[in-house]
A and B are shown apart, each in its own frame.
Chain A
């Protein structure tokens, strides 16, 4: 590595390696560039899927035909779900902030396998292309992102290539997971014992294990689907003697742990941000670590709560309901610890802090409505209704999305060496937050009233809730537009950050240059204190 010496104190953004221009990015094994590649890819696809969501809400503003027919609508919620789940929130925080900050936070020069890391991004891009092409080649897709059998076997948009795409994306996820596990085990800076490791790496660690252990189930499902489609062995399709409920089991054995892949790193990011803006160490460090591991573990055994009305046997159902309630506890512990962290702090009310505290609020709503869904009697009534749609948007978009935005604002100066415009960032946050609540809260009421999900049209009694919700969607998209425009603009023209550490953070990443150099450190730092030692 002869470049090391010349690369000194040149930021990774300006560093010139073997390739120039865009090639210098897409062939770069630098963990920071790989992280930003994921960020840009996600920004593009998030925008597409968000616009699809907005169009759906406009369609629902009045009963009957508003701006599109049912086939278009069904395609839109399918593509919206596939993009948001498989391309945005599953890779989500680990792919962007995990790649960028894991080595910085534990004092390493890069992840354990930098080439594999770049390969993960390429596999991700290939996976995106396969998933999307499979959905468009056989006519417009209309299966929903869950591809439930046997409907998904009957439509021209074949489930087989779609699963194949999810399988490829899964490989990207598995490889990132392995990379992070090895990095965390082997590459922590001298003196950083397990219990001196910051919480974001801890949640990445828990997440990485889920990625490695749960994702292969998608591969098994794919294999069984191939057996069915090619060899005619009845596995899922009742027309061949198969069992459609088996498909749901396999789907959720992966996709439920995937929910924890989505939310755990978000919890980690929030646990980083609150101490910094409270000037106070995190309350209950060990409790947060343990609860993260507990969520990762128990999360494997609760998939059946997606299937309370599927026709599964009763005894299995109450076991699943019981375990679902148990998994609520570690999340509750985290919320209490976060609130205790800001108690007696000296609160610096900056944009990341607003995103983080509003995260706690929306995450509580998501979590508490999850209790309604975990209980058998109440689940039966609201299962497959708008209540569920509201619940998972509060968790996945409210939880993961808010944590993502909090993390992006928090680490923005470190990533780009420039500061975002604070007043626009706050206006954007407030607009988004207001729009978000107006969009999703009425959906709980609609669900309790009995409006099923994936509904192109509805009875007149559901009109009021839908009008409010649609107006909220417009407000929220306006907020998102302000936030994204501000960040994109500031990444080029924002005020330059002087010094390494604009927020006064105590974790290691703030001791590297801003923005960091190619290999992060001239000398690997030595760790003597815990991660949040405010005095």
Chain B
């Protein structure tokens, strides 16, 4: 069938083959029968209909055989599915956070990433967490999908990848304007490669060397948190105002229903990240962005500010 790269693939695809095989058999068989009947018993060839009495035996036959077949389908579906609901005790735990319209993944050591990096042949337990509305965590190549429900703790899924490579993660539960752009990737790496990535000290934001390119780090924070789903870098208007060329300018916002002019400064950026509905840029809708309190640290906000400044150049 289509690309498969997890331990679930075999069970699921067996169920597909079993069900689709029987379905094609009946579809083609019954359709051919109909076509033959339409040809054979056409009024021109068969001017007089023959009345046929109902046969209980025949009725029972075509009740019982399909019944047995669908019970077989139920069985294959159940067997292919039960491993998905039985996560192992040992494995790497990752928390997937979904919000309109991005995913991010938080590891046990505090590392946060916008893509899901995992080692091959290892059980990965994904805690599913939605911050605003329903989303769904769907990896076609792994045959897994589970809704991410706000306010439903303990909802999780798991998988064990069997191949290295990059596979798409979709949000498959409709979640508003940019639903079809809410896409991420799972990157399956060799064991040692993964652990190297996992423990990469450069990725741990706290220590920033003096010569680091702060704007570049800021850009990474912005990408990691999915800001660019709604804020463009080229001046175009998406859900939220663009990031390009705004820092230091005077902008018009609506605060408590009052229009006012303010300067796009550091204070404004901090407030917009932690209390996004406080000032709404003229022409945009309130209620679209959630606070990133607890998601983006103050240190990271400073990096974002450096990045925003760099966009003026």
Contact = CB atoms under 8 A, between A and B. Distances in A.
Interface of A: 70-71, 74, 142, 144, 148, 150-151, 154-155, 238-239, 241-245, 278-281, 283-287, 309-311, 314, 318, 321-322, 325-326, 328-329, 332-333, 335-336, 339-340, 342-349, 357, 360-361, 364-365, 368-369, 371-372, 374-381, 383-385, 448-450, 452-459, 534-535
B287 interface: yes
B70 A535 contact: no
B232 to A, nearest CB: 14
A364 B22 CA distance: 12
Contacts of B128: 311
A383 B172 contact: yes
27 contacts: A154-B287, A241-B151, A244-B151, A244-B152, A278-B41, A278-B49, A285-B54, A309-B136, A309-B146, A326-B70, A329-B70, A342-B41, A346-B47, A347-B37, A360-B34, A361-B34, A368-B23, A372-B23, A374-B74, A375-B73, A377-B78, A378-B19, A378-B80, A380-B144, A384-B172, A454-B179, A457-B181
B49 A280 contact: yes
Interface stretch (B60-68, B114-122, B187-195): B60-68
A450 B186 CA distance: 15
A336 B176 CA distance: 43
Contacts of B11: 377
B170 A357 contact: no
A144 B117 CA distance: 33
A326 B71 CA distance: 8
B38 A342 contact: yes
Given A244-B150, A377-B8, A449-B140, 12 more contacts: A144-B174, A238-B151, A239-B151, A328-B70, A333-B62, A343-B52, A368-B26, A372-B19, A377-B15, A377-B79, A380-B144, A454-B179
B12 A380 contact: yes
Interface string B228-239: 000000000000
B302 interface: no
A325 B73 contact: yes
B85 A314 contact: yes
A74 B180 CA distance: 10
Contact of B174 (A286, A345, A453): A453
Contacts of A239: 150-151
Given A365-B27, A377-B76, A381-B145, A345 B41 contact: yes
A142 B173 CA distance: 14
Given A148-B174, A346-B46, A349-B43, A154 B146 contact: no
A384 B49 contact: no
Residue in B23, B132, B180 with the greatest tally of chain A CB atoms within 10 Å: B180
B203 interface: no
B16 interface: yes
The A interface is mostly helix, strand or loop, or mixed, namely helix
B284 to A, nearest CB: 13
Contact of A371 (B19, B41, B136, B170): B19
A376 B80 contact: yes
Given A347-B41, A348-B43, A74 B176 contact: yes
B147 A310 contact: yes
B152 A311 contact: yes
A315 to B, nearest CB: 10
B138 interface: yes
A357 B26 CA distance: 16
B46 A347 contact: yes
Contacts of B8: 377
B258 interface: no
A347 B42 contact: yes
Nearest to B25: A368
B98 interface: no
Nearest to A78: B174
B77 A379 contact: yes
Contact of A457 (B51, B143, B180): B180
Contact of B15 (A150, A343, A348, A375): A375
Given A151-B133, A309-B145, A377-B81, A325 B37 contact: no
